[in-house]
Structure formats: structure tokens, C-alpha cells
Chains A and B, each alone.
Chain A
């Protein structure tokens, strides 16, 4: 083999025609991933993208690594098998909100609780795109769609809360078009040993356009988002003039303005990635609270496949030269002469 040459984003693009609708948020995510992979030092041969079914799940066809486009909802299960078969592989899972939280909710739950060392990217556009616009498990109440002409009555699922509830040790959120933040989050997710759950708010231009506009529009973004950073006060708004405090009586987060009502920087909550309770409070925030972005919770623990192979190693050390013939002859045997 030649000495490894540094790969570029283009090296991770495939020759396949991208089949997403023009203007789809998936393009931005694809771009961020193409850009991030070389920065991680990823190789084409050791990287695997596994997906389920849906618009998001077409992702592997456009990444020049190993890729497996599987069946609806089951990417997490397939990826678990891939990682268990070869823990050395750098495994990414891609799914939409329906793929991940509806048909595949069970598998995602178990992938997270087991802590399989993969990056799970959930593209959340709050709609079923590929089946032409039905409401999804993350759609807000009242979403009008072909299957809910009078508006949906289902209460939506919160992906980050779900992940935390499942026992995920890494939970983060980003917005499709925020390339820098998204790239940084992908890098953190990759660096995390164990299951990393990343929710990406992704605009579906055809069936649910601007569903996140109240968070992402330039006019409101500063007040509608908060990018959390470990060890730093939870500040947001123009000039970082607003902050989050904890009301210790209600155990709820409140929004305050620095300098008003005697609130100083010392009163502001400081983000602690390892604090699961705080992670839950941040995951819950939705307008009129700012929506939390970045690494919301990160507290590593040994991964599932590492524990599984540790057991195998112990068994192998007890029986270094296992022999089937010996196995078949163990226990009560007798000879017929």
C-alpha cells in the first residue's frame, strides 16, 4: 500500500446522482459529512454508513465509503451486527424521524442503552417525505397532512429526551444549514466511545417547508437558539445578554436577562456535559425557550462491543486452543466395539 494521502471532501463523494429534492436540507448535511470525514482522518475502507428507509436513508449512496441501505427502521439493528462483527469499523447510522422513532424506535432504544459505539444521526424534518407528506412521530399537534386532513392529534416525541431516557451517553443537536456547528458536533460524536445520538433539524422543502423557521430564521435565531458548551455559562441572545437559571423551587429552567432584577453572570447555569439532569432540562426546551444545540450530554462508559469482546477474550484465555473434536467428545461418551 502507498503511504496514506490526505483525503479531501471530494474523495468521499460518489458518482451517484443525488436524488433529493432541490433545496432539501439533506444536501447541507451531506456537505457537512463530506467535509468532516477527512478532518476525522477517516478512511474509505474502514468507514461504514448504515441506513434504514426514507429520504435520509439514501445517504449512504452518496458517501464513498462502505454503505448499507437496509430496511425501514432496522438500521440500528444492522449497525449493531456490523459493529459486533468488526469493532474496528467506524460506523455511522443515518435515519429520519419516522425511521428512527416510529418503526425503528425499539431498535434505536436498544442501540442507545447497550451503548454500541456508533454515531446515530437522526434527520428530523417532522414529516414523512418519501411517502409524500404524512405526519411523523415528531410532528407537532395539529399538523395537517394527507393522513391528518383535520390536523394530527398525536403528541410528538422529543428525540433527545427519548435518547436520554434510553440511557444514551452522548446526546447532541444541530441544524442542517449551520455547517460549522454541525461539523463540530459530528466530530464530538465520532470522538465519543459509545453510542452517540445526534438530532439534526432538517428542512423538508416540499412537505414541511420552514417548519423550523421560528428557530432558524436569521431574525429570531439569536433568541430562539442556545449553543451549549461544556463549562461555559448558558447564555444566548444578541450580545449574549440572556441566560438560563434554575429555579430551585420548581426545578425548572427560567430565562433571565443579565443586569435585570439583579441577575449577574454568577447566577447563570453553567453547562456540564456530564450532568444528565441538566441534559434533560436542556433537551426539553422548546419555544418560547431557546432550543438547545451542541453537545447536550456526554458521559462516556465502556461500549457494548468492548464489553462483549472482553468476555470473549477471557473465555479464549481459559481455552486457548479450542477444538471442536474435543467439544464433541466432552461429557459422557462410550465406545461400541
Chain B
């Protein structure tokens, strides 16, 4: 943690800290996301563990200086294992008054504020909603404030290099990054290389100016250090598993996982998608992988995207469609077609907050009902969730495996936080994955389109182009024994049952549920799914260190649920379901197992905090103890 300025200065050397949370906040045009991702890269290369949280508005360039235009990037890094992007920040870099206003409540007491005074004039703080200058009315008294005219200093170095006033001012994010690099003893080189690569040939003067600004910010830090006013910090290398690492964002890892899954299945993949926040990066990533034979199709709408993916699966590719909640809602009828015709399909849902448009850039886990139940009629499909950016790779492979093995659409639930957040990732080796090659039906003997594998209950996959197997499938109920249209009552009962049994049977083909932290029985278990992994895991570990009898279970498989889950849950006195919705998994688990699960729920568009989980555990276990 950042120590007090006086303490650190008096030591006259870099102060060792275990972990730090820094939040960069500025206008959406201030380049905060770039600043954050550069800082993440350098920090990863320095050997720290880290987790990031890009937190930006839906507007691309909201009016300058407004609170709703504030774009922030939070990073938690340290020499210990980092599980979340951090509850509260230790350092807030505020590029203007609005950024200060929006992010201040997120700063811990005694935390450091680095303020750009150049964009902190009266007009600016009034626009941000301050009545008086917050620097003068004592409202920052509980923090340390480092006031620097970053705007002017950036102009001073960038303008002489041939940039206009406006362009030169844009370098202030690099100046700031330079200062923070000094503060945490980061290597400038990766960012210098990045700037050179990005602008070097296209706009050498822009590259030169940004490099000069970065170095100037760094030099400023060294100067204040010498003057003794401030000191830098050092953070040791984290003790993490040996191997080759990279930073990975969830949407990137998910895209690569889909590709890896399709290769393990021996299929080419077709992604059909329609642009939507925060799912679009999947479309972008895969569109750049054509060399792998990936076909991407930007459809006219969400429905067309789902339908084209289904058409592709029908024709023998791996059909994938990716979207977010509102888009998934539009795809539901098509998903029903894939369920009825029993075609493989991976539906990626990068969840976002709120009904309708809601909060497109904010995170939530509120599409669990949509995934498990959200279709007309009895239309079961497997649902798999992603618990961290790197985990998206594994989860995507698993979604592909189940889709092709069981001839079914699979919903892969990610969320906005996972999609945008980055973490160091132990790069997997494809040689470690067992292929699951698809065998298309080619034998006409005894063929009809709904002839089933007796084990998996999956129907045969016979693709157009195969001689002797011409057949018709469709949305109308199909005869169990011939695949032809059937309106027979008994047949519909039988087909409904077999579709349900096929999906339920997948429970025998997935791992039993394990306990992440703690024991297989006890006073309390906190159950989570998806991106709440980090805060729950850290909170449960902390509470166990304090002597509380609490364990952590985290679900990857939302449907069907792991076969041992019911017994496992019943072995705890209390079951607490922590999720970023109003209680969807809780309802599912209660209904499946009749366990008295209770909820810890949050729908603010912000990730769950460790302290929130800790508080819930403490309160509930204390109440239980008092009742004994």
C-alpha cells in the first residue's frame, strides 16, 4: 500500500509495497484506456501479478469535461497473487475535475491524488458539478494531493516538436504515464517501442512528441524525488507459476478459444455476428484470423447472425454467433431452431447491465435466466460460464466440444468485465489438449437425420454434399424414427423427453464440482459463477485466515449442473450465492436442489468487491453463532 508521503520521503529511497491499486481517470478523449493498457504491459513485464478494470462510458466522445464522459482504467498489481482489480484505489490520476468528482469515492482514505491543474480551472470544476474548487474547501483533506500542471508541461515538450496546440495537449496522457512509471519503477522501453511502432513511420513527429512527453513525466518524478517531496515505490516480483506469460483480454482469449476448439473438432469455423457492445471485439479478433480458415460474417442484424451461423453448421462448419444480452434476446427464436433441428452452435453472450439498452459498457451477470430458460417452449441447452479473461480460452473450447459432441447449441456466458479486463496468462500449449474430431455421417445404411448415438443421444450430422444422405430437417416436430414431419402426440412427448435427456446427460460428461477454497462441508459456502471468481476467492481466503469456516465453490457449468452439486451444497449449513444480478443462480439452485440458498447481490454495473463479500460472510456467520 502507498505509505504516507512524509514517511516515504523521510526514508529517502524507494518504499517497498506489496500491492497497489492505481486508477487513471480522464475525459473519454484523454487516452486513459491506452495509458492503462500500456501500464499493464509494463507491469506484467516487471513480473508483477495484476488485474485490470477498464471502466468507460457508452459515448465515444462525450462533451469534454462532463462527468458522464469520464473514462477510467483501474489496475491492481503486486508481488502477491492478484485476484481482482481492487476494491478501492490507492492512487487516483485525475486528468480533469470531472474525473476527480467521479472517481473520488473509489479512493481509499489517505490515498494519493495526482491532479492536472492545467485542466482544473473554474469553468472545468463547475462543469463537473462542483460549486467551489474542491482543492480549496477542504473536501480533499483526507487525501494526499499532488498538483501538477500536466497540460502545460506536456505542451512545453510536445509543441516544439512540430505539433499543433491540440495535438501537443494530447500527449499529456504519456506525460502522466511517465510520472507513474517513475513512481513504480517501471521500464519505459515497452511503451517507447509501442509508440515507435504505432506512430514511428506514419507520423514520426507524433511519436517523437509522445516519447518526449513520456520521458519528461518520468524526469519530473526523478526531480521531485531528489527534492525530497515525494518518493517512488518498489514492488517485488510476484510468486507465480513458472512458464511463458502474456497479457490477455477476455474477448481475445475467448476468440482464440473458439478457434482452438474448432481445430480440436477438425472443423472450420464461421462466426456470424452483429456489432454490439461489449461483444464486438470477438468479431474483430476473429475477422483477423482468416489465415486459419475462419470465415466471419457481419450480418444485417442479430437474428440474421444467429441464422447464418445455424446455416453454416447445417452445411458442416462450426457455426458461432456472438452478442450481448439484447442481441441474444433477438436470437432466441433461431436458437430454438438449432435446438429443434439439433445442430451444433456456440452462442457467446458477453453480458452487460440492465434490461433493454441498460448500461452497455457496464458489467452484470443478469442473463442467466435468459441462457437457461429464455426460449419459447421446452428448449433446453447447455450453458457454460467464463470466470476470468484467461479462463475464456478454456471455456470456449469446452463450449465447442459439447456443441459438436451433443449436436446442440451451447450458450457461453462471459461479461463486460471479463471481455475488457486483462490479466497475465500462462500461455497454453495446444499439444496439451485432446482433440475431439467430428465424424460426419457418410453411411447411408440405416440413416435418417434423427438417428441417435445411444450413448450421447446426439443425432447424426450429415452435411450437404454427402451422396446418398439427402434429407430434410426443419422446425416442425420430427418423427423419432424417421425424422419426417410428425404431429403425433406421443412422438412430441418422446422428442421433448429425448431433447431434455440429451442435455441432462451431459452432466455425466463434465467434471464433478470441486471446492475452490476450503472444505467439502462446513458452516458456510459462497457459491459464484463467472467474473465474481476473483472477489469471492480472495474474500473467502481472507475470512478463512481470520478463522471463519467458509468455503468457495465456483460454477463453470450452469446447465446442466455438475452431478454432485446438490449433495455438495447440502453439506454446508449456509449457502450464499454471490452474483451480479438480483438472484438468478440462487433461484436456479433452490429450484433444482431445494436448498435454502441466500443471495449476495449487486447490480451497480461495477464488479463485486472483496470487502462486500467479506462483510456478508462475517455478518451471516456472526448471526448464526449468536443464534447457537
Residues of A within 8 A of B (CB): 1, 14, 16, 43-48, 50-51, 53, 60-61, 63-71, 74, 76-86, 88-89, 106-107, 109-110, 308, 311-312, 315-316, 318-319, 322, 324-325, 327-329, 331-337
Q: Residues of A contacting B224 with CB < 8 Å?
A: none
User: A67 vs B311: C-alpha distance in the bound complex, in angstroms?
Assistant: 11
Q: With A69-B476, A328-B428 as given contacts, are A81 and B312 in contact (CB-CB < 8 Å)?
A: yes
Contact with B471, one of A1, A43, A66, A78 (Cβ below 8 angstroms): A66
Question: Which B370-389 residues have C-beta < 8 A from chain A?
Answer: none
7 contacting pairs across A/B (C-beta < 8 A)? A16-B484, A45-B468, A66-B470, A86-B315, A324-B292, A329-B244, A337-B242
* A50 & B290 in contact (Cβ 8 Å cutoff): no
* A335 & B470 in contact (Cβ 8 Å cutoff): no
Q: With A60-B474, A67-B473 as given contacts, are A81 and B309 in contact (CB-CB < 8 Å)?
A: yes
Asked if B511 is at the interface (CB within 8 A of a chain A CB), the reply is no
Closest A residue to B304 by beta carbon equals A77
Q: With A318-B291, A325-B430, A335-B243 as given contacts, are A81 and B44 in contact (CB-CB < 8 Å)?
A: no
Q: With A16-B484, A308-B295 as given contacts, are A70 and B307 in contact (CB-CB < 8 Å)?
A: yes
Question: Which B597-613 residues have C-beta < 8 A from chain A?
Answer: none
Asked if B164 is at the interface (CB within 8 A of a chain A CB), the reply is no
Asked if B47 is at the interface (CB within 8 A of a chain A CB), the reply is yes
Residues of B within 8 A of A (CB): 41, 44-45, 47, 190, 240-247, 256, 259-260, 263, 270, 272, 289-293, 295, 297, 299-301, 303-305, 307-317, 319, 333-334, 336-337, 341, 427-431, 463-476, 484-485
Q: Residues of A contacting B313 with CB < 8 Å?
A: 81, 85
User: A68 vs B310: C-alpha distance in the bound complex, in angstroms?
Assistant: 11
* B474 & A61 in contact (Cβ 8 Å cutoff): yes
Contact with B41, one of A1, A89, A332 (Cβ below 8 angstroms): A332
* B246 & A71 in contact (Cβ 8 Å cutoff): no
Chain B interface secondary structure, helix, strand, loop or mixed? mixed
Contact with A78, one of B311, B463, B468, B484 (Cβ below 8 angstroms): B311
Contact with A84, one of B295, B333, B464, B474 (Cβ below 8 angstroms): B295
Q: Residues of B contacting A334 with CB < 8 Å?
A: 44-45, 47, 244-246
Contact with A77, one of B260, B290, B308 (Cβ below 8 angstroms): B308
Contact with B473, one of A1, A68, A76, A316 (Cβ below 8 angstroms): A68
Q: In the complex, given contacts A327-B259, A334-B47, what are 6 additional A-B residue pairs having Cβ atoms less than 8 angstroms apart?
A: A46-B465, A61-B485, A71-B337, A71-B475, A85-B295, A333-B244
User: A335 vs B244: C-alpha distance in the bound complex, in angstroms?
Assistant: 4
* A336 & B428 in contact (Cβ 8 Å cutoff): no
* A50 & B311 in contact (Cβ 8 Å cutoff): yes
Closest Cβ–Cβ distance, residue B50 to chain A (whole Å) = 12
Closest B residue to A327 by beta carbon equals B256
* A332 & B292 in contact (Cβ 8 Å cutoff): no
Closest B residue to A76 by beta carbon equals B304
* A80 & B464 in contact (Cβ 8 Å cutoff): no
Chain A interface secondary structure, helix, strand, loop or mixed? mixed
Closest Cβ–Cβ distance, residue B491 to chain A (whole Å) = 16
User: A88 vs B464: C-alpha distance in the bound complex, in angstroms?
Assistant: 10
Q: Residues of A contacting B310 with CB < 8 Å?
A: 70, 78, 81
Closest B residue to A312 by beta carbon equals B290
Q: Residues of A contacting B474 with CB < 8 Å?
A: 51, 60-61, 67-70
* A74 & B334 in contact (Cβ 8 Å cutoff): yes
* B427 & A329 in contact (Cβ 8 Å cutoff): yes
Q: With A67-B473, A68-B474, A85-B317 as given contacts, are A77 and B467 in contact (CB-CB < 8 Å)?
A: no
Closest A residue to B308 by beta carbon equals A81
Closest Cβ–Cβ distance, residue B424 to chain A (whole Å) = 9
Q: Residues of A contacting B292 with CB < 8 Å?
A: 322, 324, 327
Q: Residues of B contacting A319 with CB < 8 Å?
A: 291
Q: Residues of A contacting B316 with CB < 8 Å?
A: 85-86
Q: Residues of B contacting A1 with CB < 8 Å?
A: 467
User: A51 vs B473: C-alpha distance in the bound complex, in angstroms?
Assistant: 11
Closest Cβ–Cβ distance, residue B462 to chain A (whole Å) = 9
* A84 & B312 in contact (Cβ 8 Å cutoff): yes
Q: Residues of A contacting B429 with CB < 8 Å?
A: 325
Closest B residue to A19 by beta carbon equals B485
Closest Cβ–Cβ distance, residue B488 to chain A (whole Å) = 14
Q: Residues of B contacting A76 with CB < 8 Å?
A: 304
Contact with B245, one of A44, A318, A335 (Cβ below 8 angstroms): A335
Closest Cβ–Cβ distance, residue B479 to chain A (whole Å) = 11
Closest Cβ–Cβ distance, residue A329 to chain B (whole Å) = 6
* A85 & B315 in contact (Cβ 8 Å cutoff): yes
Q: Residues of B contacting A43 with CB < 8 Å?
A: 467
Closest A residue to B343 by beta carbon equals A68
Q: With A60-B472, A66-B464, A308-B295 as given contacts, are A84 and B428 in contact (CB-CB < 8 Å)?
A: no
User: A329 vs B425: C-alpha distance in the bound complex, in angstroms?
Assistant: 11
